């Protein structure tokens, strides 16, 4: 491996620290069990059809279950929901995950009631790549919270966008 190759993962990480992302909790419900994960790897794909993608690490508890579900939901966090981001990014807090603020009836994936925005997606396709899988969703329903003040992750920290 050349010196440049060896340095690439760190350079990539440093470059990614300079890219601001919204913070999302991706949710599913399988066999009556709600599951969720904090994820910044989310992007719109197209308006026609309305579609987006999320990238989930293959080591995440819900990764295997994503292949079993018809729908997932992207809950975009509001600036005042940093605590939720932390809870869904740490396995130690699993018991706290759907305790407060969620609609969980398991007919559909859990919805964070006060999310900045949420997208109910039909899972259309997935592709494995490296450590992650990319799940493509066609958007079937959208909800938005009034005002625009999302939680953002930048340079390894949570922040606001405004």
Ligand X SMILES: Cc1cc2nc3c(=O)[nH]c(=O)nc-3n(C[C@H](O)[C@H](O)[C@H](O)COP(=O)(O)O)c2cc1C
138 touches 121 (CB < 8 A): yes
Q: Is 72 in the site for ligand X (CB under 6 A)?
A: no
Applying CB under 6 A, the span of 64-72, 87-95, 119-127, 140-148 interacting with ligand X comes to 87-95
DSSP label at 96? G
Binding mask 5-34 for ligand X (x = CB under 6 A): ------------------x-----------
Contact 77, 150 (CB under 8 A): yes
Residues 34 and 111: their CA atoms lie apart, in Å, by: 10
69 within 8 A of 123, measured Cβ to Cβ: yes
Instruction: State yes or no: residue 37 binds ligand X (CB under 6 A).
Output: yes
Stretch touching ligand X by CB under 6 A, among 7-15, 44-52, 56-64, 66-74:
56-64
Q: Which residues here bind ligand X, judged by CB under 6 A?
A: 23, 37-41, 55-57, 60-62, 89-91, 153
């Amino acid at each position: 491996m050349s010196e440049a190759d060896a340095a690439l993962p760190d350079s990539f990480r440093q470059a990614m620290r300079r890219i601001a992302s919204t913070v999302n909790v991706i949710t599913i419900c399988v066999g009556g069990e709600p599951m969720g994960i904090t994820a910044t790897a989310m992007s719109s794909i197209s308006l026609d059809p309305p579609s987006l993608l999320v990238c989930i690490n293959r080591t995440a508890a819900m990764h295997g279950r994503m292949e079993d579900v018809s729908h997932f939901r992207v809950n975009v966090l509001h600036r005042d929901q940093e605590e939720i981001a932390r809870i869904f990014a740490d396995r130690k807090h699993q018991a706290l995950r759907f305790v407060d603020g969620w609609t969980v009836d398991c007919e559909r994936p859990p919805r964070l009631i006060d999310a900045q925005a949420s997208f109910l997606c039909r899972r259309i396709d997935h592709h494995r790549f490296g450590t992650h899988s990319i799940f493509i969703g066609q958007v079937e329903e959208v909800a938005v919270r009034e005002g625009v003040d999302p939680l953002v992750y930048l340079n390894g920290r949570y922040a606001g966008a405004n």
